A and B are shown apart, each in its own frame.
Chain A
Amino acid sequence: MRIAAIILIIVIPSFFIFRNLTRPEQKQLNATLSIKEGKLPDGTSVTLNKGAILEYPSSFKKNKRNVKLNGEAWFEVRHDDAKPFIVTSHNVRVEVLGTSFYVNTNAANNTMEVILNSGSVAIYFDDHKENSLFLSPGEKAEIIPGQEKMVKDINTDQNYRAWMTQRFIFNNTPLVTIVADLNKVYHANLRIATPVSYCLVTATFDHQSVESILHVLQATLDLTISTHRTWTDISGNKCN
């Protein structure tokens, strides 16, 4: 009896201690002031936009690769059939095998957004994998976490990665959309007047400042741009 007790006293705590020592520690990738790039223990690369936080273990021991995200991030996941890669936010899970995709946990109207670039992705709530929404490349999902609703759509926004790539591609894009994109990525505070809102533009901008992009738009559409201290007005003649 005594021997059994000793074994229990030694073994059980040791077991817990051992378990704790070998449990991978939680690490955090924080993009406080600027875009942050990081590599996860399995070789997956992740790029976080300003303000995003990613929590991940120092090593992916179990049969799953679990990470927790708050904010906007772009993932390029290393393919591993045995270990699905799961991004968690609140009760939403985005499960992938090997793929590249974009997640924004704080999109407009309290929604979460997932846009798939390549590979495949399954999105589900908590552990209900059976009610997954599958995405194909080029599709996006809008998720309302509170209401456990998911909507799939084709992704029309070519510039969802502009914050990371510094590259905007506009193809017959109305100026109002361009202005919204610039405001989002550069936090620019541009205001557009109604007559020119629906002027269309086809252009590509790569690694250019807002001033530079506005300069090109001004020349392309004969706009009038007036800069004030905290905002910029864009106006001009109505396009045909």
Chain B
Amino acid sequence: MLSHSVFSQDLDKKITLIVHKQSLGAVIQKIGDEGKIFFSYNPQSLPLDMKISVKARNKTVREILDLVLKKNRIDYFVLENQVVLKMNQKDQTDKFREQVPSAMKHTISGYLKDKASGEVLIGANIYIRDTHLGTTTNAYGFYSLTLPANSYQMVFSYIGYKDFLMKINLEKDEEATIEMETSSLAIKEVVIQSKNKQEETRNSSLGEFQFSSKTLSQIPGFAGDLDIIKSLQAVPGIKSYGDGSSLFYVRGGNSDQNLILIDEAPIYNPSHLFGFFSVLAPDAINEMTVYKGDFPSKYGGRLSSVIDIKARNGNLKRFGFSGNIGPYASEITLEGPIIKDKSSFIVSGRMSTLNWLNDLNTSLKSFDILFYDVNAKVNFKLNTNNRFYLTFFYGYDHFGQTNESSYPTSGMSWNNMAGTFRWNHTFSNKLFSNTTICYSRYQYYLYIDNEQKDVWNSAISGLTFKTDFTWYLNPKNTIHEGVEITDHNSNPGNVSLPDNQTDPAAYPIAKYHSMEYDFYLGNDMSIGKRITIGYGIRLPVWQDLGPTTVYHFDGYHNLIDSSRVSNLSTYSSFISPEPRINFRYMLNDRSSLKASYNRTTQFLQVLSSSVSPFTSLEVWAPCGPNIKPQKSDQVSLGYYSQVFRTKLNFSAEIFYNIFHDHIDYKDHANLLFNHLLEGEIRDGKARSYGIELILRKTENNFTGWIGYTYSRTFVQTPEVNNGKEYPAFYDRPHNVCIYLSYTAGKHWAFSANWLYMTGGAITTPVGFFYNNGYSIPIYGDRNNDRLPDYHRLDLSVKWTLSKPEQRYQHALILTLYNAYGRLNPFSVNFNKIQDGNGNIVVPSNLDGEYQLIPTTISVAGMIPSLNYQFKF
């Protein structure tokens, strides 16, 4: 059985057609036979009897169709393996020109939603056939297009959904909310032909990686549960710390330089214990966009990346529940309408069940681990112009050690809390606004004595009011503007002792209070068919306020003076304009070039002299008289293309980044209990550069990508390392990520993930000297050595027990994290040795010789997990 499949590439097949005065109907038949193409048309509407002559030798089918059909005003486009022919209704030339005079303009606007649940589709593409005009839905699923009065064919498309074609006669302003249907299991991308093929390449942005909940659900998660932060490891250019933490570094920036937003609220620590789980239950996520290159002007405050996560709103049509039960953690989500099609809610909760691991623990000390998170959201559509959303999020972690008598000895805990209230208002069909009030707080506790009453804690919180306007001026210009005001508070680390005990060593360290005012204005403009420019400027203003004590240091970082600042008076302020520009040029239907320049400023940073998480104490401190705001200038260039005659996408990006006023610390810096911690900071500069290559296949049963990144980061701090350049800890030159997924029929899915990273740069002793029976390390250059390379393989198999048409869906997922059990080191320690009994002790004799051995700690060997996932 010969089966034809027509993709736009097949229209590139070369045929010869020579006919003399034959009917159009017969010619179409001939083209179909020669080119092995099926045509679909209404024979009554086409002038099939018209006699035409064609002389085309070895031309592509596409060219012949253009020749034969265009001059007879017949349109063609590819849909589902057919080439559909239709008469072109109005008398218009095929190149749409806006210079059609005296044409009244009208606007079509509305929302794009998932048909089954009513969830909005974010970042979906909308374009008008036969033109280069189009737009995308915003973060709330809203779109708006203003066009001259005419009739158009609009195409709505979004990955994982069937393309929706709509014919409209735009005689007046129209409102069209479209409900899109998901496409079948094997995601078939419908290719809408020729002139608009460029839409696919146009809308995939440089430095922007969009994950819809459908893409996310295909990545093998940890413990059978997909993990949004872990899934970032699979994105080239994003390097994770490794096991034991979900810290990540983007394009040469430090781990505190990533802005993670959940429904517009910043989250300061996105991971649960040991970094294996992230704070948001995966079922609650609608979409996640990762920006690592060109940030739109509405984002700021961090230098390296923006991870913008939009949570799901909850099914507007019917109740449902879903969940995942596993050996380490379980979650459940409930959602449903409050008033059908107008209001809905979604509640997710997750809790860990890790204490059973104690049974496997052979040492006398046992531990107590718990984490849980709750995410609740309610939304209400008052009318077509007003929608309200209320989100609440709380996540808690606790890790404690108990001694033989089950007496708690030490431990740490942290929690994240965030609440947002948002109001979408459409002033007109061209002006969309969103106003948000949100509060986010992160607290970190370290229990340093028994009974957990002596506690060191640090905290950071922010209360933000912001409003964002999107003005869909015309199809060539979309203007964004907004204002943001935030009240920041941070406690950089204080000890609280019960019973009014005072310890002179624990000097109370003043808390920070700052106000941030941001203003931004930007425009996404398209010029002609090939060029799109996004340009804008963000203007942040930062003010530090009292009451506090400000310390003044001399050039040698010695304290010379201190001054008291009274309540609410400003003692330091900064203003830092940030121009942003990105530029896209379509080379042809399949490929494009992009370039961008961004300046960003970071006013709040984490001060930490240790690179390993959990042994470092997190101190969030703002800039001020002793800490300058860190700035970054990034330039990037990229090339994106669909590989000829295949379903593969290739992209290559190179970037160069300069960090000004980069923060580092003097050797042996003391940040604990130090009210003069600002004196420990040394600023300098850093630079990073790299190339990120990725090859992707996103269709059919076999999907995946292979990514390779080569990037370097060097720091130069005048008073560190004798002013010589040294690699940053996160300078990990080679980074490979291979992710593959295969769907076999309706019940089985297999995926594999392999990651490789060069080990991080660390400082190891260059020698030891012996004093009083102790072996003391001598350090040379900063970051002179490397941790062993990190690599691991994750495998997962998903067995879907239910049939696709059933309402109750359930599946069993078997995951092997770190399948070949490589003990990737988490930290390397030179201060301890192992004695004859295998105990780790501070240096002492070992068989009569003073022998110091480095000890490495690994977090995880192979971790298997069997999870039961369900959805109703």
Residue positions of A touching B, CB distance < 8 A: 165-167, 172, 199-209, 211-213, 215-222, 239-240
Contacts and interface: CB of A to CB of B under 8 A. Distances in A.
B39 A212 contact: no
B79 interface: yes
Contact of B38 (A166, A205, A219): A205
Interface stretch (B42-50, B291-299, B620-628): B42-50
Contacts of B45: 239-240
B82 A200 contact: no
Contacts of A200: 42-44
Given A239-B44, A240-B44, A203 B81 contact: no
27 contacts: A167-B1, A172-B43, A199-B42, A202-B39, A202-B43, A203-B41, A204-B39, A204-B82, A205-B38, A207-B1, A207-B3, A208-B80, A211-B184, A212-B80, A215-B79, A215-B162, A216-B40, A216-B79, A216-B82, A216-B84, A217-B40, A219-B77, A219-B79, A219-B165, A220-B85, A239-B44, A239-B45
A203 B40 contact: yes
Of B43, B79, B82, B167, most buried by chain A (CB within 10 Å of CB) is: B82
A237 B77 CA distance: 21
A206 B43 contact: no
B39 to A, nearest CB: 7
B9 to A, nearest CB: 18
Interface in B122-166: 162, 165
Contacts of A204: 32, 38-40, 82
A206 B82 CA distance: 9
Nearest to A169: B38
Nearest to A218: B165
Given A215-B79, A220-B86, A203 B162 contact: no
Contacts of B647: none
Contacts of A211: 162, 184
A207 B843 CA distance: 74
Interface residues of B, number: 24
A215 to B, nearest CB: 5
Contact of A206 (B38, B41, B77, B162): B38
Contacts of B84: 216, 219-220
Most buried by A among B39, B42, B77, B79: B42
B564 interface: no
B5 to A, nearest CB: 9
A166 B44 contact: no
Contact of A220 (B3, B32, B41, B81): B41
Given A166-B1, A202-B42, A221-B42, 11 more contacts: A165-B1, A167-B1, A201-B42, A201-B43, A202-B43, A206-B3, A206-B4, A206-B81, A209-B184, A219-B86, A220-B42
A240 B4 CA distance: 31
Contacts of A167: 1
Given A166-B1, A206-B4, A222-B167, A215 B42 contact: no
> 10 closest A-B pairs (Cβ-Cβ)?
A203-B40, A204-B38, A212-B80, A202-B43, A216-B82, A220-B40, A172-B43, A207-B3, A200-B43, A216-B40
Contacts of A222: 167
A203 B42 CA distance: 9
A99 B85 CA distance: 38
Nearest to B86: A220
A222 B80 CA distance: 16
A205 to B, nearest CB: 7
A212 B78 CA distance: 12
A213 B184 CA distance: 14
A203 B39 contact: yes
A216 B79 CA distance: 6
A203 B43 CA distance: 10
Interface of A is mostly: mixed
Contacts, number: 73
Contact of B41 (A202, A213, A215, A240): A202
Contacts of B39: 202-204
B416 to A, nearest CB: 43
Interface string B182-196: 001000000000000
Given A166-B1, A207-B3, A218-B165, A201 B41 contact: yes
A218 B77 CA distance: 13
Nearest to A171: B43
A202 B86 CA distance: 12
Contacts of B41: 201-203, 220
Interface string B72-94: 00000101111011100000000
Contacts of A219: 40, 77, 79, 84, 86, 165
Contacts of A216: 40, 79-80, 82, 84
B606 to A, nearest CB: 52
Interface in B29-76: 32, 38-45
Contacts of B42: 199-202, 220-221, 239
B87 to A, nearest CB: 10
A113 to B, nearest CB: 23
Contacts of B86: 219-220
Interface centre among B1, B43, B162, B184 (most CB of A within 10 A): B43
Contacts of A221: 42
Interface in B1-32: 1, 3-4, 32
B160 to A, nearest CB: 15
A205 B44 CA distance: 19
A47 to B, nearest CB: 12
Contacts of B4: 206
A179 to B, nearest CB: 15
Given A215-B80, A219-B79, A220-B86, A201 B165 contact: no
Nearest to B165: A219
B133 to A, nearest CB: 20
Contacts of A215: 79-80, 162
A206 B6 CA distance: 11
B820 to A, nearest CB: 42
Contacts of B1: 165-167, 207
A100 to B, nearest CB: 15
Contacts of A202: 39-43
A202 to B, nearest CB: 5
A82 B80 CA distance: 49
Given A166-B1, A215-B162, A208 B81 contact: yes
B317 to A, nearest CB: 13
A201 B40 contact: yes
B288 to A, nearest CB: 29
A211 to B, nearest CB: 8
Interface in B217-253: none
A199 B79 CA distance: 20
Contacts of B85: 220
A9 to B, nearest CB: 59
Contacts of B38: 203-206
A206 B38 CA distance: 9
A218 to B, nearest CB: 7
Contacts of A199: 42, 44
Contacts of A218: 165
Contacts of B81: 206, 208, 212
A202 B42 CA distance: 6
A207 B82 CA distance: 12
A167 B84 CA distance: 17
A185 to B, nearest CB: 15
A40 to B, nearest CB: 21
Contacts of B43: 172, 200-202
Contacts of A217: 40
A211 B184 CA distance: 10
B38 to A, nearest CB: 4
A157 to B, nearest CB: 18
A206 B32 CA distance: 14
Interface in B552-581: none
A67 B42 CA distance: 44
Nearest to A239: B44
A123 B93 CA distance: 60
